[in-house]
């Protein structure tokens, strides 16, 4: 791809700042690619490593999702997951439930997409520590609660961005970054939100806690779906590596 990677344009030594229109178009292209993989390709596929460095740009700055070395076909519509056998991917883009299941799903791909959306809009890597927060998503969620959401837009753009589109993408990024996988929007809905054919999703003022259903070993069937708030490992936050990392190196259950 003649224009290299999205990551290089956001964080490399580029003289030209990636314009708002190009950023919006890139996000739209990636959303279409995910929808194609999940719903339109003959065999449903999860990418498993969505991140800015895997998004390539053609001569017109159209997005091309690349690096399918970790991609897996979903077994069927009932299971809808791919066994990982270790946890490949890049910290900051990996959904929290993957640390428990060791499985990639369409929902975990959506989580990675949400990280990319916030990265493109804010001009900051997902794991960036900012204003006392451990990651960009937490910072943006607080700005949303305080009705200051547009302060999250990459300051290098100045005022040269569409405020309605920016708010739409930030809310979408937060929706895709929801700690609970079932609350994340589907790819079809994501495409519609970006096109403006459906409104931006509702985002609660406070970021919900990540909870994981666990089976209580008491034999009491009423307790089999109890949800426990589960802290993420400290290495999940503030990481700076781009390499794929084994599951056992990240989190021990």
138 in active site = no
223 phi and psi, to 5 degrees?
-105, 5
Q: How far apart are CA 92 and CA 131, in angstroms?
A: 18
Q: Which of 7, 49, 109, 154 is catalytic?
A: 49
Task: Cite the active site residues.
Answer: 49
């Amino acid at each position: 791809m003649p224009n290299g990677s999205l990551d290089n344009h956001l964080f490399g030594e580029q003289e030209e700042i990636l314009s708002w229109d190009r950023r919006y178009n890139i996000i739209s292209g990636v959303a279409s690619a995910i929808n194609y993989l999940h719903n339109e390709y003959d065999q449903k596929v999860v990418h498993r490593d969505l991140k800015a460095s895997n998004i390539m740009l053609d001569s017109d700055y159209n997005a091309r999702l690349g690096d399918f070395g970790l991609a897996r076909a979903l077994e069927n519509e009932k299971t809808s997951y791919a066994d990982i056998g270790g946890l490949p991917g890049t910290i900051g883009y990996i959904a929290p439930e993957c640390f428990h299941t060791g499985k990639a799903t369409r929902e975990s791909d959506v989580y990675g997409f949400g990280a990319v959306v916030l990265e493109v809009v804010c001009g900051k890597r997902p794991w960036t520590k900012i204003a006392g927060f451990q990651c960009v998503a937490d910072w943006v969620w607080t700005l949303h609660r305080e009705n200051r959401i547009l302060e999250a837009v990459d300051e290098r753009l100045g005022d040269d961005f569409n405020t309605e589109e920016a708010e739409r993408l930030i809310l979408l990024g937060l929706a895709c970054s929801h700690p609970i996988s079932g609350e994340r929007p589907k790819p079809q809905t994501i495409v519609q939100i970006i096109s403006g054919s459906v409104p931006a999703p509702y985002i609660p003022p406070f970021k919900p806690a990540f909870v994981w259903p666990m089976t209580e070993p008491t034999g009491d069937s009423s307790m089999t779906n109890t949800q426990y708030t589960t802290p993420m490992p400290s290495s999940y936050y503030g990481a700076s590596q781009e390499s794929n990392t084994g599951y056992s190196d990240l989190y021990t259950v």
